[in-house]
Amino acid sequence: MLLSYRWLERHIDLTGTDAEEVARLLTLHTAEVEGVERVLPHLDDVVVGFVVERQKHPDADKLSLCRVDVGTGENLSIVCGAPNVDAGQKVAVARVGTVLPGDFKIKKSKIRGQESHGMICSVRELELGDEHDGIWVLAEDAEVGTPVSGAVGLLDWALEIDNKAITHRPDLWGHRGMARELAAILDRELHPLDLTLPETGGAAGAPVRIETEGCTRYVALEVGNVRTGGSPPWLRHLLLSVGQRPIELTVDVSNFVMLDLGQPNHLFDRARVGGEGIVVRDARAGESLTTLDGMERKLETADMLICSGDEPVALAGVMGGEASMVADETTALLLEVASFHAATVRRTSARLGLRTDASARFEKSLDPNLPIQAAAHLVRTLAAIQPDIELPSPPTDAGPWTDPSVELELRPERLRKLLGAPIEDTEIARMLGKLDFVVVPGDPLRVRVPSFRATKDVSIEEDLIEEVGRLYGLTRIAEAELTAAVRPVPRDARRDAVRAIQDRLAGGARFHEVLTYSFLPEELCTEVGAESETCVEVVNPVSEGWQRVRRSVVPSLLGLLQRNLRNTDDVRLFEVGKGYLPEHTDERGQPREVHEVGMVWAAPAPGKRARFDADRLSELKGVVEELLAEFTATFTWSAASDERPRWSHPGRRLVASSPGRDGTQQELAFLSGLDPRIARSLGVAADVAVARLSIDALLALPDRGSRYTSLPKFPGVKIDVALAVPEERRAAELVHAIERAGKGLVADVELFDLYRGEQVGEGRKSLAYHVLLQSETKTLSDKDGQKFLARIEQEAEKLGGELRKE
Amino acid sequence: MASFDDLERLREEGLTRVREAAGGEALRALEREYLEKGGVVTSLLAEIPKLEPTARRDAGIGANRLKGEIEGALAARREELLEAELAREAGGAFDATLPAAPSQRGSLHPITQVTREVEEIFTAMGYRVLDGPEVELDFYNFQALNIPADHPAREHQDTFWCDEEQNLVLRTQTSPVQIRAMETLEPPFRVIAPGRVFRNEACDATHEHTFHQVEGLVVGEDVNVGHLIGTLKGFLGEIFRRETDVRLRPGFFPFVEPGFEVDVRCPFCESGCRVCSDTTWIEYCGCGMVHPHVLRAGGIDPERWSGFAFGMGLDRLVMMRHRIDDIRHFMGGDLRFLTQF
């Protein structure tokens, strides 16, 4: 919302301040001012000129050749096309070099052979209104050579108030309310404002019937003998200074009252409205109304209408109807000033996407005392311009409204304790008094809240404490240190786990942490083959196709591969994040949240001669094992079931699991290659492995326990064995065979070669191991090694294989 | 085959060759030739037991002296060569601008890094760190925070709704964790809750629909506005690593009363700069004394306990610290950005 400094001056003496200072004071005590700007700054460069002489242009009928004094001692020759220009006028002159709105730079020019050194401006050229049928003729007392801004009283500043800072303050949506704040801050008095209605005639007013709960008060007042037309300069200037375009006198006065008091109002052409009385009612299904802006609005039963008889004439609190608006020929008005239910107006305005100055104010819960005051203000303002307007009948004042003002108790001691500031009782009373709260001394203080603060904002003791705190000055409150008993802050297992995982991945494993959106965009969803998975969905997505909330972080990571592979050939990414499972929704309606670590590793496929464990899946398996070892010493790998995400490789996927504290098997990690079809749709040609670690499952594990085993007391024997076995034998079976053959002496088994080829024959493979045999009771001899080899030979045969000998 | 008669010649020749050796390789070869198994000197020593007993003594002395001298010469020459090499490199032979071997590490996201820092500062002040759901019930995100169904404050929150009934939202703030904390903890307590939040708005260089906040909540006896100011000042001084002035001014958040906006003295300038729009103040966070309705919603008696709460953006903190000019980098997953941290 914009505030005009000059407008504020109509309500309070601001001597000794300037717009910047007022902005600072309001920011520190009331609401943030986001900026201060000169109003219509281009008027500083346009000067008052005096038309000394006017001749007809020798070569053009419609042009005039003027000599204009602009206070420089030398008269300018200016060619002017306006019909109303004449000698003796004071006019607005844009000289050569001046830039007018629209980046229009005035240059020296020749018009039909005559030189022109500037331009005499119209109202429209200066963006002061729509009139363009002639030049703007200034008042006779305007001083030649001075900037037009000062000469016509348009030296003003606009203060932009942050609307969010005043959502709770219906009283601050007009200049009077802001001036009241300044009066309290500066400890000055507001200028009096007469808000009583002038005497009216005794004719019967328009009857008003309220048929909806959405309207608590409706004031209707007839105003006769009105002449429509242009507004006087002071009114035009005030409206311009807050970015409103002057339109027509009655409309301008209506807007002025809204911007002055914060109370929206509406003017109907009396000839077109109210013949059968005014009815305020809910809209009926299927009804529609063409609003002032010419748009036809389809209405719903939650919308509220103002009707003339049964004919809708305005969308209550939002916008008037086109058919009943004031027109040139209007001579009598029906003024509406009402109290509408905030939520009703808000819903209609939100549904129609029709945010107006009126709806913005009604949404804030306006003071129901205001309508009659605003009606008086409007009539008095109009009468000051057109003294012969008539009020044939008293206002119709309908509705079940009640005065919202309340009395609260304020304990000064509690105030001092909560603010941490030593503010005296008398000072508390003085400050509240400046804001029109009525304070009865005592303990507690009894404080009557004025109605314009009582609709929503001030209802409890703490609200009063806030008032005192902000007027006292928050910057005056001394900082203090909290004290408390010293005791350890309980550790959070989840956070510890996440940190350990992050550190290991970003450290030795050389993974880079990313954060990705919780949304799974349609396109990515299709690419990773997750279309059939049910997701929590946002009903108002940020863009089309962005409604899904992800179940897992993995698809988001897969979506990052292609782009990063353009810049580097080894991409290792991880994210710690949350997924949501709508099929597991609790009784309050909240979907289950799963907390997981997703990892993807993409790199060029290993060459044919690379070691058996050089592919991404094996390497990522190593990384995952390292992470799991942080939490458990007893996990086991097994092949994953078929019900797995589409992106996972159907032949290369596995899970690591371990029993949890409650005995149930916990699936700790899922590891997989990327399905080549999904890789293709993602545009990824690299060798990709994917893993998902469940933080929830890791936290369900029993304590990791001790990591220590005593160091060997006797040297061990290292033996290499190569076993040729049928292809279908699993590596784990061979390790078991080696352990059996070792009869408890096997301290370590490490696979170092995997070979397929001529030397072992079709359908077979050879696995070569380093085996460490160690005893806790004696030094092992070559003989122990020989016995082991003999037994492993037998074990190999049991597996359908053989011990290979060089 | 060398003989004991040639000792002097062998000595001359050996020492000369060692002195003239061009480098480590040549010295190693000489060492092998003279001193190792089968070498000249080693062979001589092996001959000694075969000599006449009378000759053995002199031969032994001579051969051992020769051995010692050659060993000494080798060591001296090695030292000489090393000195020469060091002198050559010190003289500019070393190219300090040759690229290094690539770094062997991964990286933590800058938001994670700053979150950890925030957690450390607050845990050192006795705060617990809490987590809360991102798909949140309307009750926690709005109602319990004193924002009932028709409250205009909802208008400004650009909420993502997860159902038509508006029962479920993507949390618009970390504040719902306040209520969850009050439900589970007995006062007095101090907690922070960092995390991801959502606002339905279009992304540009300074706006994101997904960003990060940290919430703080302290409930105790006689907690007042001065404590809030002291806490924020203490925290900001740590995070900006210099004493930082803060300024409270009125702010409206339905779940605090009184409510404040906090401006931080610009950490980058003394008298105005681009970051602070020449005001020397940067709007930094919202805070206030916990509204009695909120305390009650969390099951805490507002007559006995008071508290303060604050919420601040983490993305902006990182952007200020690293002078990052585009907030979209955070969620963009581009390694060229991430590897810088």
Instruction: Over range A436-465, report the average pLDDT.
Output: 95
Question: Has residue A806 got a pLDDT over 70?
Answer: no
Disruptive mutation site among B135, B173, B314 for chain A (greatest number of A CBs within 10 Å): B135
Q: B91 to chain A, minimum CA–CA distance in Å?
A: 38
Beta bridge partners of A665: A659
Return d(Cα B138, Cα A782) in angstroms, integer: 74
The pair phi, psi for residue A579, each rounded to 5°, is -125, 165
Q: In what order do the strands lie in the sheet with A746-755?
A: A746-755, A764-773, A717-726, A802-804
Side chain identity at A401, as an amino acid letter? W
Question: Has residue A374 got a pLDDT over 90?
Answer: yes
**What integer pLDDT is reported at residue B241 of this predicted model?**
86
Q: Are strands A717-726 and A802-804 parallel, antiparallel or unpaired?
A: antiparallel
Instruction: Over range A430-447, report the average pLDDT.
Output: 96
Q: Are strands A266-269 and A396-398 parallel, antiparallel or unpaired?
A: unpaired
- Per CB-CB distance under 8 Å, the chain B contacts of A431 are none
Return d(Cα A106, Cα A629) in angstroms, integer: 79
Hey, is the C-beta of B155 within 8 angstroms of any chain A C-beta? yes
Percent residues over pLDDT 70 in chain A? 100
pTM for the predicted model, two decimal places: 0.85
Residues A728-746 pLDDT 10s: 999 999 999 999 999 999 9
Side chain identity at A308, as an amino acid letter? S
pLDDT band at A510 (very low <50, low <70, confident <90, very high): very high
- CATH number assigned to the domain with residue range B110-338, chosen from the 4 options 3.40.718.10, 3.30.930.10, 3.30.1360.200, 2.60.120.10: 3.30.930.10
**What integer pLDDT is reported at residue A390 of this predicted model?**
96
Instruction: Over range A444-464, report the average pLDDT.
Output: 95
Percent residues over pLDDT 90 in chain B? 62
pLDDT band at A129 (very low <50, low <70, confident <90, very high): confident
Return d(Cα A115, Cα A99) in angstroms, integer: 19
- Per CB-CB distance under 8 Å, the chain B contacts of A479 are 226, 229-230, 233
Instruction: Say which residue, A105 or B102, is predicted with more confidence.
Output: A105
Environment class of residue A768 by beta-carbon count within 10 Å: exposed (0-12), middle (13-18) or buried (19+)? middle
Record: contact A480-B224, CB cut-off 8 A: yes
Nearest CB partner across the interface for A484, out of B108, B188, B258: B188
Residue B189, helix vs strand vs coil: strand
Residues A711-731 pLDDT 10s: 999 999 999 999 999 999 999
Instruction: Say which residue, A613 or B152, is predicted with more confidence.
Output: A613
**What integer pLDDT is reported at residue B105 of this predicted model?**
83
Instruction: Give residue for tokens 């042009």.
Output: A63
Residues B252-273 pLDDT 10s: 999 999 999 999 988 778 888 8
| Sign of CA pseudo-dihedral A104, A109, A114, A119 | positive
Instruction: Over range B97-118, report the average pLDDT.
Output: 90
Residue A11, helix vs strand vs coil: coil
pLDDT band at A546 (very low <50, low <70, confident <90, very high): very high
In terms of CA atoms, which chain A residue is nearest residue B210?
Answer: A517
Percent residues over pLDDT 70 in chain B? 97
Residues A259-278 pLDDT 10s: 999 999 999 999 999 788 99
Chain A, chain B: beta-carbon pairs less than 8 Å apart: 235
Are A310 and A299 within 8 A, CB to CB?
no
Question: Has residue B1 got a pLDDT over 60?
Answer: no
**What integer pLDDT is reported at residue B306 of this predicted model?**
96
Residues B193-217 pLDDT 10s: 999 999 999 999 889 999 999 999 9
The interface predicted TM-score of the complex, written ipTM, equals 0.86
Record: contact A563-B334, CB cut-off 8 A: yes
Question: Has residue A805 got a pLDDT over 90?
Answer: no
HEC-encoded secondary structure of A728-788: CCCHHHHHHHHHHHHCCCEEEEEEEEEECCCCCCCCEEEEEEEEEECCCCCCCCHHHHHHH
pLDDT band at A464 (very low <50, low <70, confident <90, very high): very high
Beta strands in A182-303 (DSSP E): 208-210, 215-223, 266-269, 278-282, 288-290, 296-298
Instruction: Over range B272-288, report the average pLDDT.
Output: 87
Are A321 and A267 within 8 A, CB to CB?
no
Calculate the average pLDDT of chain A. 94
- Per CB-CB distance under 8 Å, the chain B contacts of A164 are 156, 252
Instruction: Over range A739-754, report the average pLDDT.
Output: 94
**Gyration radius of chain B's alpha carbons:** 38
Record: contact B331-A567, CB cut-off 8 A: no
Q: How many CB atoms lie within 10 A of CB A802?
A: 16
Q: Structural domain boundaries of chain B?
A: 4-89, 110-338
Q: A262 to chain B, minimum CA–CA distance in Å?
A: 17
Q: A542 to chain B, minimum CA–CA distance in Å?
A: 6
Hey, is the C-beta of A541 within 8 angstroms of any chain B C-beta? yes
Beta bridge partners of A597: A576, A693
Question: Has residue A645 got a pLDDT over 80?
Answer: yes
In sequence order, the 6+-apart residues with CB closer than 8 A to the CB of A437 are A447, A448, A449, A450, A453, A464, A467
Record: contact A32-B251, CB cut-off 8 A: yes
**What integer pLDDT is reported at residue B155 of this predicted model?**
64
pLDDT band at B92 (very low <50, low <70, confident <90, very high): confident
pLDDT band at B94 (very low <50, low <70, confident <90, very high): confident
Q: In what order do the strands lie in the sheet with A636-639?
A: A512-513, A571-585, A591-603, A687-694, A665-674, A648-659, A636-639
pLDDT band at B2 (very low <50, low <70, confident <90, very high): low
